[in-house]
Amino acid sequence: MIMDFVKFTINGKEVEVQAGISIIDAAEQAGIDIPRLCYDKDLSPVGACRLCVVEVKGARSLVPSCVSPVTPGMVVETHSPAVIKARRKVLDLLISNHPLDCLTCEKAGDCKLADYCYEYGVKESSFEGERHNYAIEESNPFIVRDLNKCIQCGQCIRACDEWTGIHNLNFAYRGFDNKPSTFDDLPYVESECVFCGNCVSVCPTGALTERQMKHKGRRWEMKKVKTTCPFCGTGCNFDLNVKDGKVVGVTANRASAVNGRSLCVKGHFGWDFVHDERRLTTPLIKKDGEFLPASWDEALDLIATRFKGIKDQYGADAFAALSSARCTNEENYLVQKFTRAVMGTNSVDHCART
């Protein structure tokens, strides 16, 4: 495929980019970050938030860079005084109806609205008027939905539609009351929602958050450990969020080879079996039909003695091992090595067929 390239000038620097790409993506290639709230490279652009406006020489007004392609010879200013003034106004308007309860907001530290207000020095709104007072939706165990914090960027709608393919959300109502909604404005739990949580992963504010992470710590306290999902064979990656030696949540990781930021209900919210109180934490030895706690030494010594005894008495083929399609490669390798090299039999299998 032959690629066409175009030259244009951005902040006084001439750069060459692939023809047809948007100004916002071209800027990124040139190392210039243009703020965005509704735009995400992995979703279709809609040009709704107007935060990404830039000045294009010869244009009648500022243009939204996410939906405007670069043209040959175009001259762009991304941070001119007019642009900055416009962005401040956009943020001012957005927070005129956004609770500034950052002290207790779950997304504090990971909120793009707050980041941009900080960057552009917007401390409070200069507009006064009506404010929404939606009830916070907590009727399902996975997702907290606080539409008071929604900025109508529509990313949740597009993620549900374009990633998951469910299209459970769309904008409803007009004007001031416009908001992302399920069909008939039902709570998620009564809708077609499959609880993949992809809407949560793209929400730039605290409107959609993981319920499991509520009150479990501030976002900047979480250690993120990228790993591979233990449910099904797709091989999705995500970040385990860890605080004080405990897993407190799963968040999507953009750098995931197979899934990008898409997850399903199991990967996103099913991890909490890890800390279920029914987890076995100590070896148990059955005595007179009852399991009694034992030390590792006690249990392993007993197993070694019995395995040795059975091998000596009946031969190696009196032993068999079942390894696990849920355990790691390394654990599986060791189980088959143990079975073959230590017990002396090839009777090792796992439920490859279920």
Partner 1 sequence: MAGLATTFGSGAMTNSINEIPDAEMLFLIGTNTTEAHPVIGYKMRRAKRKGAKLVVVDPRRTELAEIADYWLRLKPGTDIPLLNGIMHVIIREGLHDQDFIKERTENFEALEETVKNYTPESVSVLTGVPVNDIYAVARLYATTDKAMLFYTLGITEHVCGTDNVMSVANLAMLTGHLGRPGTGVNPIRGQNNVQGACDMGALPNVFSGYQKVIDPAAREKFEKAWRVSLPESPGLMIADMIEKAHAGELKAMYILGENPVLTDPNSNHVRLGLENLEFLVVQELFLTETAEYADVILPAASFAETDGTFTSTERRVQRVRKAIEPLPGMANWQVIIELSKRMGYPMDYTSPEEVWTEMASLTPSLAGVSYHRLEAKGVQWPCPNSEHPGTPVLHTGSFTRGKGYFQGIDHIPPGELPDQEYPLLLSTGRILYHYNVTTPYSAGIQSMWPEEASELNPDDAARLGVETGDKVKVASRRGECVTNILVTDRVPPGMLWMSFHYKNSPANALTSAALDPVTKTGEYKVCAVKVEKIQEVGTCGGYM
Q: How far is the CB of 213 from partner 1 (least distance, A)?
A: 12
Answer left, alpha or beta for residue 109, where phi above 0 means left and psi between -120 and 50 means alpha: left
Show the site string, 154-173: x = touches partner 1 by CB under 8 A, - = not: --------xxxx--------
Among 16, 176, 306, 312, binds partner 1 (CB under 8 A): 306
Task: Please give the Cα distance from 57 to 70 (Å, whole number).
Answer: 12
Q: Is the dihedral of CA 256, 119, 115, 187 positive or negative?
A: negative
Collapsing DSSP states into helix, strand and coil, what is residue 118?
helix
Binding piece for partner 1, criterion CB under 8 A, among 39-47, 67-75, 88-96, 302-310: 302-310
The footprint of partner 1 on residues 89-148 (CB under 8 A) is 140-142
Binding piece for partner 1, criterion CB under 8 A, among 44-52, 62-70, 201-209, 290-298: 290-298
Would you list the DSSP string of 125-158?
Answer: -S-------PPPB--SSSEEE-GGG-----HHHH
Interaction of residue 254 with partner 1, rule CB under 8 A: no
Interaction of residue 152 with partner 1, rule CB under 8 A: no
Q: How far is the CB of 234 from partner 1 (least distance, A)?
A: 5
Interaction of residue 291 with partner 1, rule CB under 8 A: yes
The footprint of partner 1 on residues 201-220 (CB under 8 A) is 211-212
Task: Please give the Cα distance from 179 to 107 (Å, whole number).
Answer: 20
The footprint of partner 1 on residues 310-349 (CB under 8 A) is 310, 314, 316-342, 344-349
From the list 37, 42, 29, the residue with the least C-alpha distance to 252 is 42
91: which 2 tokens?
A: 């943020």
Answer left, alpha or beta for residue 30, where phi above 0 means left and psi between -120 and 50 means alpha: alpha
- Specify the residue, 29 or 227, whose C-beta has the smaller distance to partner 1: 227
Interaction of residue 41 with partner 1, rule CB under 8 A: no
Interaction of residue 1 with partner 1, rule CB under 8 A: no
Interaction of residue 233 with partner 1, rule CB under 8 A: yes
- Could you tell me the CA-to-CA distances from 153 to 163, 209, 269 in Å, in that order? 16, 16, 24
Q: How far is the CB of 240 from partner 1 (least distance, A)?
A: 4
Among 196, 200, 203, 213, binds partner 1 (CB under 8 A): 196
Who contacts 294 (Cβ-Cβ below 8 Å, separation ≥6)?
282, 283, 284, 285, 302
Interaction of residue 245 with partner 1, rule CB under 8 A: yes
